[in-house]
Amino acid sequence: MEPADGRAQRVAQFFSTRLERATAHTWDTPGQVLAIDNRRVLHARGDATNEPNRAIERLALLMNEWPDGSTPPRRKIPLP
């Protein structure tokens, strides 16, 4: 797939430079948990066809205070 226009080309270039700094995660310990902040990272997962016991769960946390002491905005999160 090729970027369709100049803006898409700039985005593709941006992500290709980030890919150079990517860290691969290896699932080598049973019961291992990986927590990802979707607002701070670009992430993907590989094909799990040959991993029938793999489970991906979504968890939402409500924070009463940001690490800097400020109060996060409140919004309703729909549950599945």
Average pLDDT over residues 8-36: 82
Q: What percent of the chain has pLDDT over 70?
A: 86
Question: Does residue 71 belong to any structural domain of this protein?
Answer: yes
| Confidence at residue 23, expressed as pLDDT on a 0 to 100 scale | 80
Question: Does residue 74 belong to any structural domain of this protein?
Answer: yes
| Confidence at residue 33, expressed as pLDDT on a 0 to 100 scale | 81
Question: Does residue 12 belong to any structural domain of this protein?
Answer: no
pLDDT in tens, 25-41: 888 888 888 877 777 77
Question: Does residue 37 belong to any structural domain of this protein?
Answer: no
* Res. 80 pLDDT band, cuts 50 70 90: low
Question: Does residue 72 belong to any structural domain of this protein?
Answer: yes
- Among 60, 2, 51, 5, smallest CA distance to 30 is for 51
Q: What is the DSSP letter of 52?
A: T
Task: Please give the Cα distance from 10 to 12 (Å, whole number).
Answer: 5
CB atoms within 10 A of CB 42: 11
Q: How many CA atoms lie within 13 A of 28 on its CB side?
A: 3
Query: Where in the sequence is the domain holding 72, given as residue range(s)?
Result: 55-80
| Confidence at residue 40, expressed as pLDDT on a 0 to 100 scale | 73
When divided into structural domains, the chain yields a total of 1
